[in-house]
Amino acid sequence: MSILSYTFFQNALLGSLLASILCGLIGTYIVARRLVFISGGITHASFGGIGIGVYLGFSPILSAAVFSVLSACGIQWFSHRRDMREDSAIAIFWTLGMSIGIICSFLAPGFTPELSSYLFGNILTVTPLDLYLLGTLALIAIVAFTCFLRPLVSIAFDAEFARSQHLPVITVEYLMMAFIALTIVACLRMVGIVLVISLLTIPQVTANIFTHSFKRMALLSIVTGYSGCLGGLYLSYHYNIPSGASIIFVSILIYLVCKGISWSIIRWRRQ
């Protein structure tokens, strides 16, 4: 029987597509705005929300979403204060989330095997609820980037210039930080806390090899991201290895191949 006939694999393919669209758009903003380190802090802070959900006995994804959004807004607020550096604010929320997550998971009654799935991910366990969440966020991202592409690009590349054009920079930054947090939480089931930041950066860095246009970079990121997911699923199925790590491994291979092609073309033109 073909693997495509299994519902869990169909969910994995659809989840990969939705996550690639979502991460392709949001990740392009992250890379352009240079928010990779902040996104890493939010990613690890989300473990605090997962631990709280496990301890209190309700959905870890819901609690992680709330905790991540609050952490993202907290990092953004502290970063704008003169008495604290941005990297210090990131470190505080990063370690706060991890410590709360560890404490709550330790105090949670019974055995909690689902924690490993949030840490390391398994795209084959994606549920219909995860697909609805990914689909909703992807739709919102498509509408937002279609309707407000110019102001988003302006803020991403030069916030001071955008402020001089009377754009609501602070409001947009808070909204984007919250959306980044929700994107991270939505992708936790796929690759886990340890690797989720890679979905938001590696396809974009790969796309940036061939273009510096925000729009083309986002579109190419979606293509390379989905290619990495498909390749990772293939490796995971045929060699019985973790799907999350396989996806990131293939994504990095794609980057290296594209970098090699670009380097060869540049060298050939110089001859």
pLDDT band at 95 (very low <50, low <70, confident <90, very high): very high
Average pLDDT over residues 242-249: 91
pLDDT in the model for residue 149: 92
pLDDT in the model for residue 62: 93
Q: Please check the confidence at residue 212 and state whether its pLDDT lies above 70.
A: yes
Taking the C-alpha atoms of residue 236 and residue 91, their distance in angstroms, rounded to an integer, is: 34
pLDDT in the model for residue 111: 67
Q: Please check the confidence at residue 247 and state whether its pLDDT lies above 60.
A: yes
Q: Please check the confidence at residue 148 and state whether its pLDDT lies above 60.
A: yes
pLDDT band at 6 (very low <50, low <70, confident <90, very high): confident
Average pLDDT over residues 182-187: 94
* Domains annotated on the chain, with CATH: 3-270 (1.10.3470.10)
pLDDT in the model for residue 146: 93
pLDDT in the model for residue 83: 76
Q: Which one is predicted more confidently, 8 or 44?
A: 44
Cβ atoms of residues 152 and 40 within 8 Å: no
Taking the C-alpha atoms of residue 37 and residue 194, their distance in angstroms, rounded to an integer, is: 14
Query: Helix/strand/coil (H, E, C) string of the chain?
Result: CCHHHCHHHHHHHHHHHHHHHHHHHHHHHHHHHCCHHHHHHHHHHHHHHHHHHHHHCCCHHHHHHHHHHHHHHHHHHHHCCCCCCHHHHHHHHHHHHHHHHHHHHHHCCCCCCHHHHHHHCCHHHCCHHHHHHHHHHHHHHHHHHHHCHHHHHHHHHCHHHHHHCCCCHHHHHHHHHHHHHHHHHHCHHHHHHHHHHHHCCHHHHHHHCCCCCHHHHHHHHHHHHHHHHHHHHHHHHHHCCCHHHHHHHHHHHHHHHHHHHHHHHHHHHHC
Q: 86-90, 182-186, 264-268: which has the highest mean pLDDT? A: 182-186
User: From the centroid of its chain, how far is CA 122?
Assistant: 15
pLDDT in the model for residue 113: 63
